A and B are shown apart, each in its own frame.
Chain A
Amino acid sequence: MDGEAQRATASWGNGTLAPGDHLRSDRAESPTPGLVEGTEPGAGQKSAMFVHAQSFEDLTAEAEEEVRREADINNPGDSEEELNVLVGEKEPHLTSESKSKEEDVSSEAWRSHRKHVFVLSEAGKPIYTRYGTEEALSSTMGVMMALVSVVESEKNTIRSIHADGCKVIFLTKSPLVLVGVSRTSQSDKELLRELQYIYYQIVSLLTLTQLNHIFQHKQNYDLRRLLAGSEYLTDNLLHRLDRDPGLLLSAVTCLPLASSARDTVSSSLQAAKSKNLVFSILLAGDRLVTLLRKKDQFLHHIDLHLVFNLVGSSSSFREGEGWTPICLPKFNTAGFFHAHISYLEPASQLCLILVSTDREDFFNMSECKQRFLERLSRRTAYQALKDALKSPTYSVEHVGIPELRHFLYKSKSSGLYTSPEFPDVYISDSEQERLMGLYQELHSSLHHPTRPLRFFYRCGERENLLAWVTSGFELYLCFSPLGTKALAVAAVTKLLKWIRKEEDRLFILSPLTY
């Protein structure tokens, strides 16, 4: 990494939001100067699909209150009954499935993992560890809890400890405490964001109401009992956090599809409505084909990623139709939705998720799916959709910028991003993870809590990187190390033009509602 260049560039931001002189001249070369939110390539034409705006900051801010104020369409009416079943009942002790992640927690290998994540209760009881077993770590977690309490007793909150190339980040979300131990160069804020995700993953399985209820009745409760069989969801989410640009950008990506075909799919889905159906999501693997929502109800990108994680982590929906309670914590931490999850065809990548407020709605949802299929199968759009599945991504060569290797582009107003497939240089897992790590660093700089940058260029030995954030979009580019800054800046212009030209296909421009 070229430290000189880094520092020189970083000084442009210089602690203020106003662009420095260099930046101004760079932006003047942009094809669409003064891009504002809502007019950037990929911006939706009507209304945004997700909760948008400060989506990243949103994550690190205390959002609890806002969540509590959420719409009342979810009725957690039956939760009291459910809670009693959960807490009251004495059951034979079940030996937990022996974890495949069994690993000696005193070993060097265990210690040298890049990122550890621990979840514990406020009583210091272990709930989750990414590596090793919770049992083996109970004393370690006890120490962590002691640290948290000591600081709290002084009416303060412990946030992080920096030592020896290692960061320890604390997130207290009563009744849970989450601790991240990282050797990466991610900022505290980024690590906190990841812990938030893990927190929401757990809430999504149990609801916050239930969590509170349990720990109010039994401080010493072993939550692993309730999370048994779902640890893999947290494991997978952590893996995604390292690898999926969508989680980094707080955005989702779409299956490239001709807008006419997408519109037909969306309207077929719209026609299959039902009283309690709130969200319908059609996925192709990890890519969104379309999303419908009840008018005035928004699906937060975190909730959407939790749904992606659930569907992507389990092959169980391949057999028959799945029906599962799910809490969408950014929507309502108090109650469960009920999701009907099924693939359109047995071996297909197309997965339909119908989210209802009523737990007895299975057959209604099943019928909605039928109606959707009926309509869809009568249109040519279905064939177009299946053809699109054959090329779920695109090569960066289509953009026609020789030095450009890869990029991430997020349209802020739609909460959608686009990115080409990884080129050959980044084909291996380790290289992809390294590139993602670089993007994470850029992201950290752009979203620095006190000194955020708007524009950032960095030369490295193996690649040159450029990041640019405006009120309309976020852009991260990766160039071959032979390119120059002038070339990179010119490339931005060209890329934005290309995205504008392709936006019909790459984004969902006209989302529908029920």
Chain B
Amino acid sequence: MGEKLPQVQGDPQLRRDTLSRPVRTLRAKMVLLGSSGVGKSSLALRFCKDEFRNTSPTVGCAYLTQVMHLSDVTLRFEIWDTAGEEKYHSVTPLYYRGAHAALLVYDVSKRDTFIRAQVWLRELEKQYVAGSTVLWLVGNKGDLAQHRQVSVQEGQSLANDRGLLFTETSALSGDQVDKLLLAVAHRVYECVGAQQGGLSEWQETPHVDLRRRNHLFASCCKVGP
């Protein structure tokens, strides 16, 4: 887990802008892929609410949002938490197409999920446009040390071979989860945000909140998944 967090190289132009006007909010599409049961929904729940709960299997896909404040920009992650079941396979491209970040999640205590993550990787690579998507391999359930079937080295070397970033996490304990999200944010901003038309600006539409907590009902611009 010696992954070094990528540093954001502050663009001087951008820096100056932020002094004169409010920090921009950019939309970033993230997709969570991997077998069912590896902890994708648990990670998403950690990302968005920093909670851990026993959730039931995802039906279809779940959509959540989380705002990340970086030093000179705010990223609004639109997270697509897929189910990972084979019957939904045919609709999954909807979610990874155009994603700025794809997290390939496996369960370190189940080898077959590691193999499955590689199947996803192959599928993604078919569509991959260099520089448009940050691919991250995530070995979850790092807390299950006694049942480990995939070593840290294996995960790391797969990532190295295929040019992915790699982190081991535990959605249960929260270990490395915050850091992962922050690192993804930096990386997305650095790689995708720098390109022309890489990330679009988020226009807040007036929205209603029955509980007066803004992020829960945040709506968004009309762009298909």
Interfacial residues, chain A to chain B (CB-CB below 8 A): 81-83, 85-86, 89, 91-95, 97, 205-206, 225-230, 232, 310, 313-325, 339, 341, 344-346, 359-360, 362-364, 366-367, 370, 373-374, 377, 382
- Taken together as a complex, chains A and B put the C-alpha atoms of A89 and B119 apart, in Å, by 11
Closest 4 CB pairs of A and B: A324-B60, A82-B90, A320-B64, A360-B224
Please give, as numbers and ranges, the residues of chain A lying within 8 Å of B81 by CB-CB distance. Answer: 319-320
Q: In the complex the two chains form, what is the Cα distance from A385 to B152 in whole Å? A: 52
Q: Determine the distance from Cα of A341 to Cα of B58 in the docked complex, in whole angstroms.
A: 12
Within 8 Å by CB of A363, from B37, B207, B223, lies B223
The distance in angstroms between the C-alpha atoms of A92 and B85, with both chains bound, is: 13
Query: A229–B57 Cα gap in the complex (Å)?
Result: 7
Q: Which of A315, A318, A323, A359 has the most CB of B within 10 A?
A: A323
* Contact indicator A363/B86 (Cβ below 8 Å): no
Tell me if B19 is interfacial: C-beta within 8 Å of chain A. no
Cα(A94)–Cα(B37), bound, Å:
12
Q: Are B63 and A323 in contact (CB under 8 A)?
A: yes
Question: Quick one: given A319-B44, A344-B210, are A227 and B87 in contact (CB under 8 Å)?
Answer: yes
CB distance from B40 to the nearest CB of A (A): 11
Most chain-A Cβ atoms within 10 A of its Cβ — which of B41, B62, B112, B221? B62
- Taking a contact as CB atoms under 8 Å apart, the answer to whether B41 and A319 are in contact is yes
In the complex, the answer to whether B62 meets A321 with C-beta atoms within 8 Å is: yes
Which residue numbers of B lie inside 8 Å of A, CB to CB? 35-37, 41, 44-45, 48, 55-65, 79, 81, 83, 85-91, 94, 112, 115-116, 119, 205, 207-208, 210-211, 216-217, 219-225
Residues of A within 8 A of B119 (CB): 91-92
Q: Which residues of A contact B116 (CB under 8 A)?
A: 91-92, 94
Interface pair B90/A317, CB less than 8 Å apart:
no
Do A322 and B57 contact each other (CB < 8 Å), given the known contacts A345-B211, A373-B217?
no
Given the complex of chains A and B, what is the CA–CA distance between A299 and B26 in angstroms?
Answer: 40
Q: Establish whether residues B59 and A316, one from each chain, have CB atoms under 8 Å apart when the complex forms.
A: yes
Inter-subunit contact A229/B83 (CB<8 Å): yes
Chain B contacts for A321, CB-based, 8 A: 62-64
A325 touches B91 (CB 8 A): yes
Q: In the complex, are the beta carbons of A362 and B56 less than 8 A apart?
A: no
22 contacts between A and B (CB under 8 A): A82-B91, A86-B89, A86-B90, A91-B86, A92-B112, A93-B112, A94-B35, A228-B36, A232-B57, A317-B59, A318-B55, A320-B62, A320-B81, A322-B58, A322-B61, A322-B63, A325-B91, A360-B225, A363-B222, A363-B225, A370-B207, A382-B210
Q: Which residues of chain A have C-beta atoms less than 8 A from B88's C-beta?
A: 324-325
| Bound-state Cα–Cα, A435 to B136, Å | 55
The residue of chain B having its C-beta at the shortest distance from the C-beta of A85 within the complex is B90
Q: Contact partner of B62 among A83, A85, A316, A382, CB < 8 A?
A: A316
Chain B residue numbers with a CB within 8 Å of A226 are 86-87
Q: Given the complex of chains A and B, what is the CA–CA distance between A322 and B86 in angstroms?
A: 18
B58 neighbours in A (Cβ, 8 Å): 316, 322
